[in-house]
Amino acid sequence: MTRSNPLRRLCLLGAVVLAGTLAGTATASAPAQPLPLIPMPASLEPLRGQFALDADTPLLAAGEAERTVAAQFSALLEKSRGIAPKVVAGSRRPGIRFRLDPAHGGGRESYLLEVAPGGASITAGDQAGLFYGAVTLLQLATLDESGPIRLPALRIEDAPRFPWRGFMLDPARHFWSVEQVKQVIDAMALHKLNTLHWHLTDDQGWRVEIRRHPRLVEAGSCRLPAGDGAIDPASGQPRPYCGHYTQEQVREVVAYAAQHHITVVPEFDVPGHATAAIAAYPELGSTDAPLRPTSEWGVFPNLFNTEEATLAFLEDVIAELLPLFPGRYFHIGGDEAVKDQWQASARVQARMRELGLADETAMQAHVVHRLAAFLEKHGKRAIGWDEILDGELPAGAAVMSWRGTEGGLKAARLGHDVVMAPVSALYLDYLQTGSPHEPPGRPATITLQQVYGFEPVPEGLEPERQHHILGVQANLWTEHTRSFERLQHHMFPRLAALAEVAWSPRQARDLGSFLQRLPVQLQRYRRWGIGYASTPFQVDVELQDESDAGVRVALSNPLGYEIRYSSDGSAPTAASPRYQAPLQLPLPARLQAAAFFAGKPLAPARAWHWDAASLLTRSDEQLDACRGRAALRLRLEDDGPAEGERAIFDTDIFYPCWQWTAARLDGVVAVKVRAGRIPYYFQLAHDEPHRRFEPARSAHGELDVHAGGCDGQRVASVPLPAAPDADGFVELEAPLAPALSGRQDLCLRFTGDTRPQMWVVDRVTLERR
């Protein structure tokens, strides 16, 4: 059988070999589904037959490296399917052979996987390739959740598209324990990712022990959370948030990652994002103002100064970190270094004149050159965020392009290696759906489809320069990620999409195929204990129209899976009506809906209820941003309680304004608002002028209500109290004058400065006569 285009045979394999095995997908009478492997292999040829794998199947491995991978496969299989085959040197029974062959070509991460009725084998030239072959074999063994394991006969020749397949973990904002970092590594390995970028330092915390400079963790690894979260509810005393890794723990993590063929790249961010370090050693700063690690988020003005003693300190820290991280790359940051303090510092200006530097950008380039040369002297290679391109870049430095792909394109054309990590497609702390059930996160939305659709090689990059694209990386900043459950929610399933972008040939990527393979991957997540987000697999509702008689609602699933619904109070099943067009429902109305694939729900059904009273209330998630005024809308969490669940608010930190679009105002005599108040914990640097608010007209400001949008007539106003009630909320009732009618956009906004605390809307109710 020719292998000229084996990927086209995936559907044939699903229909013939897996008929009746992959439950609910490929059957004799149903459309064939692609073999659910993620990421998609480079080449796959289906063969005839199956191989039965059970607890007595021997795992044949001769050398130490082969035995190591075979044992890892057995452990993963036990976690996935409850059986743990034995690793043996030889056996008369048909088994699975793990074999290293120095003559195997295709690169150190490539492998050949062959399955036949008489057994299976994985062949690779390096232990990394052997491990990735074992991961693919594990996926073949988990095509179904139960029943005998039947591996389809096939031949896979596979190798990754890119050598850098990365994920960035940020413990500086919220700290992750060693065991949690290991769980991240486990998940990365199961997706064939090979680079963990560990963001160890920032304004909010210094997270790694430096023995020569102990105050970095003594003073730099603890901060007081904002607001009520800083107070111990039992004692009323300050409750600091702390965490750092000892050097022994770093070695433990790095060694664990290496066992999973993952390189850990540390980041020491220079010259900005330096508040925690300067708080520990004030002589490193560019001003005399005292600092402490902060619980605010955003872009800070605090930069390391440029004196020789400070540069020597930075080199000293790097020198102590280098033995902990045997990988080739060391990340030196370079991003968001606001130069205001340097411009105002006589010492920095004198240093620039001494060095003959034209401006502060050249000064940062000098620092980058200094540290890059230091790293090169010690056998390492510097990589930094794309701002390091703003000045002359050292010849050997690599660039991580985050502000888009333009920096990566520029760097590649200049001969620098590049990792693509653009904020527009690969920042996983951005919300992944428009669901009100998304946890706190950054503004805007980066969907799974956006991640999957990202192409790391920029269009127009000359073929002779394309080898400079080392690969791709997803970043997850953790300002708003307070728990490990939320971290996993943000990571999955979008990390599966990244894995296919990073590994699979470009021509093999197909979103429709990926979405057909994804439900089986969710089964694996459940077996592996990975807490993936359910929001992409739930159903969302849009209230399109309403009247006293009924509502018209539209249903959607973020990934486009089939929707089934019921309106009789029962949970929808595969036999329930399929949603095809907006539904007109008489009041009172009840509706349940779920997304289905192959006859099974992908997540628990969501339920809604509408009646005359509920239509008069909107939550903050249901309100719009004010048209023409919105600038930076965030999903923010309340500051208390110290532990457990907190209220979540959608708000615009640049302009505190909410809009009820096309509100039905006939008979409405007042607007009742449940409002909360949270700390304003943002540093905006040069974006500060964009923050706007309406001046207060009384001691504590007002809640103003405008009809016809924010530029319309003010129809109600009520003074704000000095503080909310004991539960953190206050009920405000604003009588409307004059009487309003018809449908109008109601704008609600709070007057007065948003610092140090800002009022936020929790829900709005229209009161009728």
Instruction: Report the distance separating Cα 349 and Cα 248, nearest Å.
Output: 41
Q: What residues are labeled active site?
A: 336
Which tokens hold the place of 696? 């207060």
Instruction: Report the distance separating Cα 648 and Cα 626, nearest Å.
Output: 19
Q: What share of the chain is helix, strand, coil (3-state, %, to 5)?
A: 30, 30, 40
Instruction: Report the distance separating Cα 240 and Cα 204, nearest Å.
Output: 12
Paired residues of 330 in beta bridges: 382
- The half-sphere exposure of 264 on its side-chain side, counting CA atoms within 13 A, is 27
Instruction: Report the distance separating Cα 656 and Cα 750, nearest Å.
Output: 6
Instruction: Report the distance separating Cα 46 and Cα 37, nearest Å.
Output: 13
Which tokens hold the place of 285? 């700063």
Query: Strand, coil or helix: what is 729?
Result: strand
Looking only at the bridges linking them, the beta strands covering 743-750 and 87-88 are unpaired
* Those residues with Cβ within 8 angstroms of residue 618's Cβ, 6 or more apart along the chain or in another chain: 660, 763, 764
Instruction: Report the distance separating Cα 423 and Cα 406, nearest Å.
Output: 12
Instruction: Report the distance separating Cα 297 and Cα 169, nearest Å.
Output: 17
Q: Nearest-5° angle of CA 658, CA 661, CA 666?
A: 115
Class of residue 288 by CB neighbours under 10 A (exposed 0-12, middle 13-18, buried 19+): exposed
Locate the DSSP E strands across 640-728.
Answer: 648-652, 657-664, 668-679, 682-683, 702-707, 713-719
